[in-house]
Amino acid sequence: MEETSNAIVAKPKEWATATRDFWRDTTSEMKKVTWPNRNEVVGTTVVVLVATVIFALYLWGCDLAFYKAIDFLFTRFGAGV
């Protein structure tokens, strides 16, 4: 019975130790990170925005082309509204 009570008491201690170790390791790793400067952030943001617009236009064009093709097929073969 005493072993189980010691195990129950040890669990919160293990959790506290594990949490402390986690935060210490996380803080240590975050100090090693090379953070981008403002110019790098702005540059990559512009690349992402431009790529998003290009892909949006491409997908819009594909959607329009498929819509027109399906509409043509339905109209041509008598299933159009």
Q: Which domain holds residue 22?
A: 1-33
Q: How far apart are CA 43 and CA 50, in angstroms?
A: 11
Q: How far apart are CA 27 and CA 19, in angstroms?
A: 12
Do 46 and 26 lie in one domain? The reply is: no
User: What is the pLDDT, as a whole number, of residue 66?
Assistant: 97
User: What is the pLDDT, as a whole number, of residue 7?
Assistant: 56
Do 26 and 45 lie in one domain? The reply is: no
- Provide the number of structural domains found in the chain: 2
Q: What is the pLDDT along the chain (81 residues), one digit of tens a residue?
A: 455 555 555 666 788 888 899 999 999 999 999 999 999 999 999 999 999 999 999 999 999 999 999 999 898 887 655
Do 26 and 50 lie in one domain? The reply is: no
Q: Is the pTM of this model over 0.85?
A: no
Do 27 and 49 lie in one domain? The reply is: no
